[in-house]
């Protein structure tokens, strides 16, 4: 693979741009998103081919897997070297301005495809960014800086002006959840749900105006998946770099109000098999507030667990936030919890034990 200085691959989310110049493109452009997504693809598919080669006894498949896995960290290193070399710290004093392509963040023209509202969500989807980079890019997109790229979000969702898009921003909420930016994730989720889906039928135009100006762009089948994906990730999320399986990572706090009923997920798909869980706020003796839960994981999870373990989050109503004081699992005290992060952690070596069907989290007054 040829090296570029800075390194990024030609092409963007316009598929035609990968193999030829599109009719509205004057010059080839090089996007960080392509390099970042290639890194993710090599990591994931390298592991797939590694397993296939071993199972099938195919030396050629195993060799291909090894090549992909060898190239993946090179792509990652080159991506970050490029981002570090091109970040601008003078455009917006006190901020870091990251470009979305090697050619810089000059104004988009009809001959230069790869608008920021497309390219940044793609980089987010790769899982290759640091929390600091995500935060910097988000703030510039929200118009909170004077970075040259300018504002490319509306109500916390990728947009062109006040036109919120549905068909291109899938990676955006994924990146926010990866770095635990829960409130930003929920703003995106609610914006997409309330303003980008048709009322009652939940179909989607390609984009819709938040200001009710003119007409929306026509129906986009790709956009229909946006809100359901967010709902799935809100409840069951697989962190790609640490390989951590999260449950209830970003549920709205009022879902665990006393008397609200159970938050329940049954048979959700993950790379480790199907998982189920339920959380419900109930009264508990001696506790100001308590949440009872149960988690069901496949037997295979104990044999091949996620490297980062399983993390259950309990996002209690705001008056109880940060006051998680004790946890029991199977009736026994469990010390692996964090009041600040509102999490109960089950390491890879603990997923085969009993007790996941009876979890009680109590909160102090």
The per-residue pLDDT for range 224-243, each reduced to its tens digit, is 989 999 999 999 999 999 99
Q: What is the pLDDT of residue 25?
A: 52
Helix (H) or strand (E) holding 86: helix 59-86
pTM of the model: 0.89
Helix 171-178 with 226-235: angle, nearest 10 deg: 20
Residue pair 262/294 in contact (Cβ under 8 Å)? The answer is no
How far, in Å, CA of 229 to CA of 170, rounded?
8
How far, in Å, CA of 100 to CA of 199, rounded?
34
Low-confidence residues in the chain, pLDDT < 70: 1-29, 104-114, 212-215
pLDDT tens-digit profile of 263-284?
999 999 999 999 999 999 987 7
How far, in Å, CA of 241 to CA of 238, rounded?
9
Q: What is the pLDDT of residue 257?
A: 94
Nearest Cα residue to 103 out of 90, 112, 95:
112
Cis peptide before 6 (omega within 30 of 0): yes
């Amino acid at each position: 693979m040829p090296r570029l200085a800075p390194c990024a691959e030609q092409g963007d989310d316009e598929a035609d741009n990968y193999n030829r110049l599109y009719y509205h493109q004057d010059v080839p452009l090089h996007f960080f998103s392509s390099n970042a997504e290639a890194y993710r693809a090599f990591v994931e598919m390298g592991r797939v081919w590694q397993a296939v080669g071993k199972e099938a006894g195919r030396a050629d498949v195993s060799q291909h897997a090894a090549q992909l896995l060898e190239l993946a960290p090179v792509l990652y290193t080159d991506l970050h070297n490029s981002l570090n070399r091109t970040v601008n710290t003078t455009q917006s004093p006190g901020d870091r301005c990251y470009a979305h392509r090697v050619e810089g963040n000059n104004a988009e023209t009809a001959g230069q495809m790869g608008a920021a509202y497309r390219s940044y969500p793609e980089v987010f989807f790769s899982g290759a960014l640091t929390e600091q980079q995500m935060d910097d890019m988000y703030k510039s997109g929200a118009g909170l800086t004077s970075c040259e790229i300018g504002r490319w979000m509306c109500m916390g969702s990728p947009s062109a002006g006040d036109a919120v898009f549905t068909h291109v921003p899938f990676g955006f909420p994924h990146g926010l959840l990866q770095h635990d930016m829960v409130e930003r994730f929920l703003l995106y989720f609610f914006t997409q749900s309330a303003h980008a889906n048709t009322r009652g039928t939940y179909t989607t135009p390609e984009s819709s105006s938040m200001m009710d100006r003119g007409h929306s762009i026509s129906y986009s089948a790709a956009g229909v998946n946006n809100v359901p994906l967010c709902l799935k990730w809100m409840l069951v999320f697989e962190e790609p770099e640490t390989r951590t399986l999260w449950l209830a990572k970003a549920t709205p706090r009022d879902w665990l109000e006393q008397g609200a009923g159970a938050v329940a997920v049954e048979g959700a798909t993950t790379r480790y098999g199907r998982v189920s869980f339920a959380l419900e706020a109930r009264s508990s003796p001696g506790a100001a507030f308590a949440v009872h839960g149960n988690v069901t994981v496949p037997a295979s999870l104990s044999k091949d667990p996620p490297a980062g373990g399983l993390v259950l989050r309990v996002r209690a109503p705001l008056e109880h936030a940060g006051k998680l004081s004790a946890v029991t699992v199977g009736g026994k005290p469990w010390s692996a919890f964090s009041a600040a992060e509102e999490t109960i952690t089950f390491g890879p070596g603990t997923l085969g034990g009993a007790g996941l069907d009876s979890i009680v989290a109590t909160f102090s007054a």
